[in-house]
Structure 1
């Protein structure tokens, strides 16, 4: 069964402050893993486009985070997307790749959910994404726990 995907990402500095965000409608996908790996690819490219060279990648799909953490080639049906992400990593310093529970990824989830109703992609640079203000506030209360 195909369903529309939505991509959301937030970029923070080392103090946890929001420096950029994106919310964009993705293509029809077959699985949550496909949606997650496509969203990750777009987030990595977005972070490069806005000039970040050091990144920590976090996502709530364990399969995606595991596949990105290994150096071996991915031979799954989504392998070409994983390899594209890893290719983009060559121009960056990836400090870590972490799996987080859905609760630890609520800002990106909120932006992805918002994206499903968009006509045009939305990007925020040095600004808080309005669709995620409440989630960011809640997140900030627990950021240093």
Structure 2
């Protein structure tokens, strides 16, 4: 029997962010998807962003995690659980060793913020648990500029004509 894997709600005092990135290797374009949900699972904020001249999936996922950190700093969000499916990137952030990759400066920047923010937690989530962010990141490959939605998230991304973007 196949066991269903689903997104898990955080406790009421935490918000949870799921992030993912998609890479179009031919065009060297990446898209980042960040979804912030409250303890009830309600979408609070959704951000789609992009970068050009990126050709490596690990660098793409590192940029996505740094974008999440920047967003949380801008919004001054506390008590946050970050989930992503880039296991190698998450392990690099958790490692006490200095990062020695093509993307070391990105990882070291993210590490710094997680060290000083003791109310932020970073954890690996399987692709199945991170499926909404993964699906939306692929959808975001079609977008040409950063877009931010507050509360009316999923309808906007899937063609709801009543959305304000």
Bucket of the pairwise TM-score, normalised by the shorter protein: 0.7 to 0.9
Q: Separation in 1 of the partners of 2:120 and 2:38?
A: 13
Could you say which residue in structure 2 is the equivalent of 1:13?
Answer: 38
Could you say which residue in structure 1 is the equivalent of 2:53?
Answer: 28
Q: Separation in 1 of the partners of 2:37 and 2:95?
A: 24
- 1:66 has 2:91 as partner: yes
* Per-residue deviation, 1:78: 0.9
Q: Separation in 1 of the partners of 2:78 and 2:116?
A: 7
RMSD: 2.2
Q: Separation in 1 of the partners of 2:61 and 2:138?
A: 13
Q: Separation in 2 of the partners of 1:122 and 1:21?
A: 8
Structure 1: unaligned runs, 5 residues or longer: 134-145
Q: Which sits farther off after the overlay, 24-33 or 62-71?
A: 24-33
- 1:48 has 2:85 as partner: no
Bigger helix share: 1
Report the count of equivalent residues: 133
Q: Which sits farther off after the overlay, 17-26 or 122-131?
A: 122-131
Question: Greater RCO between the two (CA within 8 Å, min separation 6)?
Answer: 1
State whether residues 22 and 111 of structure 1, in contact with CA within 8 Å, keep that contact through their aligned partners in structure 2.
no
Structure 2: unaligned runs, 5 residues or longer: 1-24, 160-165
TM-score, reference length from structure 1: 0.79
* Per-residue deviation, 1:82: 0.4
State whether residues 85 and 130 of structure 2, in contact with CA within 8 Å, keep that contact through their aligned partners in structure 1.
yes
